[in-house]
Chain A
């Protein structure tokens, strides 16, 4: 079904949260071990290594060199990439293409970061620290871009802060059913409204967590995945879209490349939004989920606010369960890597109390940088 020329055979995660003494490297290692065990695949089979440097990884773009040495891997396919929250999807796509081309047989995609305890800064000037920096005009922090998008969405379509709050409440409700989630205490819309303003119109509870942790995804051929320990999850379709021109793009605020990204994956998978049973939508900020609902065709443009209002349609038993493990807002901020893990678990049917009944097809989206990169996967059963 769909493209289905590569599969995910294993997913793994380290402990998540505030983990003093751990490093980006140690957390990536913990996740790598966990993913191999999940797949039932020995390290000796891993011949591809794709990595995303954490914000606390000192190696930067040479991260793959250090991780390969550390894990004892001499790969025939490797590299590092940082496109923020779009990276997990982009690396899995690189892995899938390499496998289909016969250039690798088992690719480990790995991320680790000690962002919580390692002193990461997420308040730098948007636009960089150089002479073109927007810091001159007071544009600081990762929330600013999303606040700009949220404000215009509110002005044009009547979207409200309370509607954004339902995204946060939904994530927390699902995280309560996820033993690995960092934030599991229930919250209400009143809590959301009372939480302090970070960049107006975004409250604290509209914002992702900052956490330590690592994640690893093992990508391999459909044939090899069928012999792995767990049910194979097939990559039916995948897509990317990027608005690298930022201000040169008239409607950059609306992130039109995200719609292109998802429609490309739907086409590859031979499916449409009505076929998707469960969605893991990248939620660096609550407003991101509203944009994705529109860009992925679940609702027409401007109608995502009413769709999430009340939180029933996006709930586990709703018409489109969203961020079933809690997402960046409540599970852990692994920059979208855990969204892939949860997508795999839902398709396998192993999500326990938060399992969506009869979930077959899962859309997983990611976005990053100045919200100008996007990637997505359509995951489904192998058959």
Chain B
């Protein structure tokens, strides 16, 4: 297995990646209009305000749709196939791209309930949020 793809931490995105150490999925909430947003941005795409506060969300969501990678198209995924990548519709509104862990492709369907899980990186400086099936879903 080769090295995973890691994000580059910046002052802007650090709260997102460090949230995982506290077991929290965090999004930015616009201080001006209240819009909860993802992807991470310096401004609100609705009102253009640059003021935002990082807030924890439930980490719960559903599979909006998904695709199964039977082959590795990048060294980081060699030996880790098959795997599932989904658009996750979070309970609070924003959508994320994430792989689904601790499951087989056959356990995944559109609308399957999910919950965030956090994978600490080697040096422990942050943790990558990923999604797994919500409790009870794996036994369906």
> Which residues of A come within 8 Å of B, CB atoms?
123, 125-127, 130-141, 144, 147-149, 151-152, 155-156, 197-201, 245-248, 250, 252-253
Q: How far is the CA of A243 from the CA of B110 in the complex (A)?
A: 23
Inter-chain contact B37/A248, CB cutoff 8 Å: yes
Can you give 17 contacting A-B residue pairs, CB < 8 Å?
A: A123-B74, A125-B74, A130-B8, A131-B7, A138-B77, A138-B99, A140-B73, A140-B77, A151-B67, A155-B65, A156-B110, A198-B71, A199-B67, A200-B68, A247-B97, A250-B95, A253-B64
State whether A151 and B66 are in contact (beta carbons under 8 Å apart), knowing that A125-B5, A136-B128, A247-B97 are contacts in the complex: yes
Q: How far is the CA of A151 from the CA of B105 in the complex (A)?
A: 13
Q: Which 3 pairs from chain A and chain B are nearest by CB?
A: A200-B68, A152-B65, A147-B67
Q: Which residues of B contact A134 (CB under 8 A)?
A: 97
Inter-chain contact B5/A136, CB cutoff 8 Å: yes
> Which residues of B come within 8 Å of A, CB atoms?
4-10, 13, 37-40, 45, 64-71, 73-74, 76-77, 80, 82-83, 85-87, 94-99, 105, 109-111, 128, 130
Q: How far is the CA of A140 from the CA of B67 in the complex (A)?
A: 11
Inter-chain contact B105/A155, CB cutoff 8 Å: no
Q: In whole Å, how far is B88's beta carbon from the nearest beta carbon of chain A?
A: 10
State whether A253 and B5 are in contact (beta carbons under 8 Å apart), knowing that A148-B65, A148-B67 are contacts in the complex: no
Residue of B nearest to A123 (CB): B73
Q: Which of A141, A149, A151, A155 has the most CB of B within 10 A?
A: A151
Q: Which residues of A contact B83 (CB under 8 A)?
A: 138
Q: Which residues of B contact A252 (CB under 8 A)?
A: 95
Residue of B nearest to A121 (CB): B73
Q: How far is the CA of A245 from the CA of B128 in the complex (A)?
A: 23
Q: How far is the CA of A172 from the CA of B94 in the complex (A)?
A: 40
Inter-chain contact B96/A247, CB cutoff 8 Å: yes
Q: In whole Å, how far is B101's beta carbon from the nearest beta carbon of chain A?
A: 10
Inter-chain contact B40/A132, CB cutoff 8 Å: yes
Q: Which residues of A contact B94 (CB under 8 A)?
A: 247
Q: In whole Å, how far is A140's beta carbon from the nearest beta carbon of chain B?
A: 4
Inter-chain contact B69/A247, CB cutoff 8 Å: no
Inter-chain contact B70/A137, CB cutoff 8 Å: no
Of A130, A131, A152, A200, the contact of B110 (CB 8 Å cutoff): A152
* A-B contact sample (20 more), CB < 8 A, given A247-B96, A253-B65: A131-B10, A132-B7, A133-B7, A135-B74, A136-B128, A137-B97, A137-B99, A138-B76, A138-B85, A147-B68, A148-B65, A152-B64, A155-B109, A199-B69, A200-B67, A200-B82, A201-B67, A201-B68, A245-B45, A248-B45
Residue of B nearest to A155 (CB): B110
Q: Which residues of A contact B80 (CB under 8 A)?
A: 138
Q: Which residues of A contact B8 (CB under 8 A)?
A: 130-131
Inter-chain contact B39/A247, CB cutoff 8 Å: yes
Q: Which residues of B contact A155 (CB under 8 A)?
A: 65, 109-111
Inter-chain contact A139/B68, CB cutoff 8 Å: no
Residue of B nearest to A197 (CB): B70
Q: How far is the CA of A328 from the CA of B85 in the complex (A)?
A: 26
Q: Which residues of B contact A253 (CB under 8 A)?
A: 64-65, 87
Q: Which of B45, B69, B128 has the most CB of A within 10 A?
A: B69
Q: Which residues of A contact B45 (CB under 8 A)?
A: 245, 248
Residue of B nearest to A147 (CB): B67
Residue of B nearest to A127 (CB): B97
Q: In whole Å, how far is B96's beta carbon from the nearest beta carbon of chain A?
A: 7
Q: Which residues of A contact B69 (CB under 8 A)?
A: 138, 140, 144, 199-200
Q: In whole Å, how far is B130's beta carbon from the nearest beta carbon of chain A?
A: 7
Q: Which residues of A contact B87 (CB under 8 A)?
A: 148, 247, 253
Q: How far is the CA of A198 from the CA of B69 in the complex (A)?
A: 7
Q: Which residues of B contact A136 (CB under 8 A)?
A: 4-7, 128
Of B64, B73, B82, B86, the contact of A141 (CB 8 Å cutoff): B73
Q: How far is the CA of A135 from the CA of B72 in the complex (A)?
A: 12
Q: In whole Å, how far is A139's beta carbon from the nearest beta carbon of chain B?
A: 5
Q: Which residues of B contact A131 (CB under 8 A)?
A: 7-10, 13
Q: In whole Å, how far is A284's beta carbon from the nearest beta carbon of chain B?
A: 15
Q: How far is the CA of A130 from the CA of B12 in the complex (A)?
A: 13
Residue of A nearest to B77 (CB): A138
Q: In whole Å, how far is A298's beta carbon from the nearest beta carbon of chain B?
A: 23
Inter-chain contact A151/B110, CB cutoff 8 Å: yes
Residue of B nearest to A149 (CB): B65
Q: Which residues of B contact A148 (CB under 8 A)?
A: 65-67, 85-87
Residue of B nearest to A138 (CB): B99
Q: In whole Å, how far is A208's beta carbon from the nearest beta carbon of chain B?
A: 16
Q: Which residues of A contact B37 (CB under 8 A)?
A: 248
Q: How far is the CA of A84 from the CA of B70 in the complex (A)?
A: 26
Inter-chain contact B65/A139, CB cutoff 8 Å: no
Q: Which of B9, B38, B85, B96 has the most CB of A within 10 A?
A: B85
